[in-house]
Structure 1
Amino acid sequence: MSSRIKADVCVIGAGSGGLSVAAVAAQLGVTTVLIERGEMGGECLNTGCVPSKALIAAANAAASVRSSPRFGVDAGAPSVNFDRVREHVQDVVRAIAPHDSQVRFEELGAEVIRAEARFVGPRELVADDTFIEARRIVVATGSSPAVPPIPGLDGVRFHTNETIFQNTRLPEHLVVIGGGPIGIEMAQAHRRLGSRVTVLEAARPMAKDDRDLADTLLRHLLSEGIDIRPQVEIVSVEADEAGIAVLIREGTRTSRLVASHLLVATGRRPNIDGLDLDAAGIAYGKKGIVVDSRMRTSVRGVYAIGDVAGGPQFTHAAAYQAGIVVRNALFRLPAQVDYRALPWVTYTDPELAQVGLTETQAREVHGDRIVVVRSSFGKNDRARAELQTLGSVKIVARRNGRVLGASILGPHAGELIQVWVLAIAQRLKLKDIAGAVAPYPTLGEASKSAAGEFYRASLFGTWSRRLVRALARLP
């Protein structure tokens, strides 16, 4: 028999953003319904952030064994047991899963419905045989891998991020189509675990990051034995006795690659199919549901967050947007998104982190009215001690020292970028970072050193030298 529920808040999708809204709403005591058709925790927990970082950690452990002779420690070549690597990945997912589980959210006070939801009116939904009428609805259905229309691709077995972690055999030769963060991360991880890896990119790999630092990273990946090919056209894909054959064109040259495994990492598409948005009158397009700066859709009382809303496709972006919705929908505060200080990280080794404007973007907006300063990890004592000197901290600022953007290539760049997130969010100047005291020896000193570079010319310039000489003559 069908049932009817009247709720204050109904959330569709139990990924990062949806869970954040549901958790707050339930704990505030409003009637909350959470609908999820798949696994609790969404893409990040099950097929994205968590398993990928666990796999990367295993790969980095193998790389550490190989590089241990640099420190005078002879450990021999690592022996990779891929079954145990997979077990490690799944153990990490299982350890985190209870935090996102149905049981936990029911304990918080939410009613959880495990079914596919669709709109039947502006604020009305149906999930299985349950009819839900809600004062506020939040669509947080995420995204899925975008599979390009490559001839023959539908006739071979290929992986996306949704299936690569279920792979039971270490690839002999992994061909990755797509040179973005997912493709590059998985390329290095599999190479370090022992696979031969080729990356095929139609344009420029890591195109959204600072070009100088991205090029440095790509050269490092080449030195690790990863074959990275930019400006490649995928002509077709077909089955081969040895696995999967990929026919590619590079300029006027056509060649054939044979892979044991194929990973397609060419972007994401919003999960809007099946929602029947037209029945609610919700505007949407190819990039997802159309929202304003308060994450409101075209229908009053309906919000959309995360990948389905067509904005930045990061787990932390979805969580941030969830906070915006909570303030608007529950506290009636006119909060708006501000992506000036939204960071992103590519978890290679070394990591590549970015917040704010890149140098190229800053010059497009501000022309020559910017200053670029940097500090190499080769000059950082902690990085030297740990033999992790590749990369640098690169800061883009206005001529008055106001920080516009930061890019970091180096060890733990994802951690180091956070001070620059704060600097941009709080409109700090380089003097605020340069004047802070950093413990010695730490990697964080690289940020202080980069900020200090902004003042080097004036500090040691002609005027300062004259002033100090004049002061030295005083009794």
Structure 2
Amino acid sequence: MSEIINADLCVIGGGSGGLSVAAGASQMGADVVLIEKGKMGGDCLNYGCVPSKSIIAAGHAADVIRRSGRFGVNGTEPAVDFLKVREHIRSVIAGIAPHDSVERFEGLGVKVLQEAAVFSGPREAKAGDSIVRAKRFVVCTGSSAAVPPIDGIQDVPFLTNETVFELDERPEHLIVIGGGPIGAELAQAHRRLGAKVTLLEMFRVLGKDDPEVTEFARRRLVEDGVAIREGIKIVSVGGGGNQISVEIEADGQTETITGSHLLVAAGRRANVDGLNLEAAGVSYSPRGIEVDARLRTSNKRIFALGDVAGGLQFTHVAGYHAGIVIRNALFRLPAKACHDFVPWVTFTDPEIAHVGLTEAQAKEKFGDDVKVLRWSFEENDRARAERETEGLVKIVVGKRGKILGASIGGPRAGELLQPWVLALSQKLKIGAMANAIAPYPTLSEVSKRVAGSYYTDALFGERTRKIVRFLQKFG
């Protein structure tokens, strides 16, 4: 006999977005059921953001030792214990896991079902031996690594972000398919930990960001020893065990690259399989569940958020979506999601951070009304002291000083981006950034300096000089 559970809200998926909705709704007085078939915390905690930044930190530590000679400190090739690197990654995950645990959420009053959810009707879902009937549902099942249709790839062992962090031995030669953020980050981290790495990309590495800004990260990847092959076609994959071969084609010539491990980082696909969305009257496609601006599906009592909704696939977007869903589902407020000012960061070294429009996008939209401001990290005293001067702040400005977008490639770019996110979201003009006082010596001065450059021509032009000379005649 199935147990029937009635609830105000049923959340399907215990990742970042789902947990935010469940915790918020329960604490606000709603009767909430959370269904999660896998690990609590979802992709971000277990296979994505947390483990990837942990291995990046390990790679950075090794690189600091390797390059410490530039400070007059004896640098040496670091000894890397890859098993302990894995323990470090697991330790970081374990430290965060209690915050996302079943016990914590049950303590908040959420009923947690550790089963797979399958819709059996427009207001009903099955989870193991339970049937959940809820006034509203929220689908936040996330995404998984997409496997491209390459000849032979299903016949060889390959890694994805869900398995690469479980390695207890350093790869002898890691071949990475995909030069986006995930591929570039993991390629650099493994190279810094001593693995030979080849990065394969059909188009351009880190191609979704401004090329003027990404060039610094690309250059560092090459300096670190990552072999980058861009503009290539992957013909086939073969081999097995510790001998994986990838046949590529470039400029009409074929070449075979052989490595010990293969990592596939060629995009993501929405997790919609097995939900029986048809029974719920929810429209979807291979890109994900179709939603309106209020994140409602074709069944207005069912919402979808985060990666599964087919938009920008970032943990912070899922968290933002959670707030939109709560306002709609609990308070019946017609809140709409706006993605105009969503920031993102690629955690290569140096980092790449962006919000708003790129130079190309702004010029396509506004034409000659766009002014581009640039400031190099070479002009920053803190960057010089730390010998991290490779980088650029690039700001796109429209009419009357309106900030249109910001791109930063440089040390701690992700941390430096936040003032620009605030400026864009609050519709501040470039003068607000130029007039702010930045503490010295900090990297944050780059933002003030680049903003101040907007006024350089006017302040130091001939017209200003004439005004000053005229006024000085009066004593």
TM-score, normalization by structure 1: 0.99
Work out whether residues 272 and 308 of structure 1, in 8 Å CA contact, stay in contact via their aligned partners in 2.
Answer: yes
Q: CA deviation at 1:344?
A: 0.4
**Aligned counterpart, 1:271:** 271
Distance 1:340 1:428 in 2: 15
**Aligned counterpart, 1:47:** 47
Distance 2:44 2:216 in 1: 28
After superposition, what is the alpha-carbon deviation per residue over 1:252-302, rounded to whole angstroms, capped at 9, x for unaligned? 110110011100000000000000010011111111000011101111211
After superposition, what is the alpha-carbon deviation per residue over 1:221-267, rounded to whole angstroms, capped at 9, x for unaligned? 11221111111111111115751011110111101100111000000
1:274-353 alignment runs, 5 A limit: 274-353=274-353
Distance 1:442 1:206 in 2: 27
Is residue 2:25 matched to residue 1:6?
no
Task: Look up the SS of the partner of 2:119 in the other structure.
Answer: strand
Task: Look up the SS of the partner of 1:341 in the other structure.
Answer: coil
Work out whether residues 200 and 232 of structure 1, in 8 Å CA contact, stay in contact via their aligned partners in 2.
Answer: yes
Q: CA deviation at 1:207?
A: 1.3
After superposition, what is the alpha-carbon deviation per residue over 1:23-68, rounded to whole angstroms, capped at 9, x for unaligned? 0011112100000000000000000000000000000000000111
Distance 2:215 2:261 in 1: 26
**Aligned counterpart, 2:383:** 383
**Aligned counterpart, 1:444:** 444
Task: Look up the SS of the partner of 2:279 in the other structure.
Answer: helix
Work out whether residues 377 and 391 of structure 1, in 8 Å CA contact, stay in contact via their aligned partners in 2.
Answer: yes
Deviates more, 1:326-335 or 1:441-450: 326-335
Q: CA deviation at 1:407?
A: 0.3
Q: CA deviation at 1:467?
A: 0.8
Q: CA deviation at 1:205?
A: 1.4
Task: Look up the SS of the partner of 2:55 in the other structure.
Answer: helix
After superposition, what is the alpha-carbon deviation per residue over 1:157-216, rounded to whole angstroms, capped at 9, x for unaligned? 100001000112101111100000000000000010001111111111111101111123
Is residue 2:82 matched to residue 1:82?
yes
Task: Look up the SS of the partner of 1:257 in the other structure.
Answer: strand
Task: Look up the SS of the partner of 1:417 in the other structure.
Answer: helix
1:101-140 alignment runs, 5 A limit: 101-140=101-140
Distance 1:30 1:118 in 2: 22
Task: Look up the SS of the partner of 2:67 in the other structure.
Answer: helix
Question: Which ranges in structure 1 are unaligned for 5 or more consecutive residues?
Answer: none
Paired amino acid for 2:453 = E
Work out whether residues 340 and 424 of structure 1, in 8 Å CA contact, stay in contact via their aligned partners in 2.
Answer: no
Distance 1:207 1:399 in 2: 28
Work out whether residues 157 and 241 of structure 2, in 8 Å CA contact, stay in contact via their aligned partners in 1.
Answer: no
Distance 1:287 1:303 in 2: 16
Task: Look up the SS of the partner of 2:296 in the other structure.
Answer: coil
**Aligned counterpart, 1:57:** 57
Shift of the 225–282 alpha-carbon distance from structure 1 to 2, 3 Å rule, reads same
Paired amino acid for 1:89 = I
Deviates more, 1:214-223 or 1:163-172: 214-223
Q: CA deviation at 1:220?
A: 2.1
Paired amino acid for 2:227 = D
TM-score, normalization by structure 2: 0.99
Q: CA deviation at 1:473?
A: 1.5
Task: Look up the SS of the partner of 1:442 in the other structure.
Answer: coil
Distance 2:116 2:2 in 1: 15
Paired amino acid for 1:440 = Y
Paired amino acid for 1:18 = G
Distance 1:175 1:411 in 2: 27
Paired amino acid for 2:302 = V
1:96-245 alignment runs, 5 A limit: 96-239=96-239, 243-245=243-245
Distance 1:154 1:287 in 2: 22
After superposition, what is the alpha-carbon deviation per residue over 1:316-341, rounded to whole angstroms, capped at 9, x for unaligned? 00000111101111122211111121
Paired amino acid for 2:118 = R
Distance 2:76 2:179 in 1: 32
Paired amino acid for 1:114 = Q
Q: CA deviation at 1:315?
A: 0.3
Distance 1:15 1:240 in 2: 34
Task: Look up the SS of the partner of 1:22 in the other structure.
Answer: helix
Distance 2:241 2:326 in 1: 55
Is residue 2:32 matched to residue 1:18?
no
Paired amino acid for 2:48 = G
**Aligned counterpart, 1:406:** 406
Work out whether residues 10 and 138 of structure 1, in 8 Å CA contact, stay in contact via their aligned partners in 2.
Answer: yes
RMSD: 0.9
Distance 1:275 1:205 in 2: 35
**Aligned counterpart, 2:393:** 393
1:17-36 alignment runs, 5 A limit: 17-36=17-36
Task: Look up the SS of the partner of 1:199 in the other structure.
Answer: strand
Distance 1:449 1:338 in 2: 30
Question: Which ranges in structure 2 are unaligned for 5 or more consecutive residues?
Answer: none
**Aligned counterpart, 1:249:** 249
Distance 1:431 1:198 in 2: 45
Identity of aligned residues (%): 57
Paired amino acid for 2:245 = A
Distance 1:300 1:77 in 2: 59
Task: Look up the SS of the partner of 1:336 in the other structure.
Answer: coil
Deviates more, 1:333-342 or 1:45-54: 333-342
TM superposition outliers: structure 1 runs of 4+ over 4 Å: none
Q: CA deviation at 1:399?
A: 2.9
Q: CA deviation at 1:447?
A: 0.4
Distance 1:319 1:31 in 2: 20
After superposition, what is the alpha-carbon deviation per residue over 1:378-417, rounded to whole angstroms, capped at 9, x for unaligned? 0000101100100111000103111110000111111100
Distance 2:311 2:241 in 1: 42
- The total of aligned residue pairs comes to 475
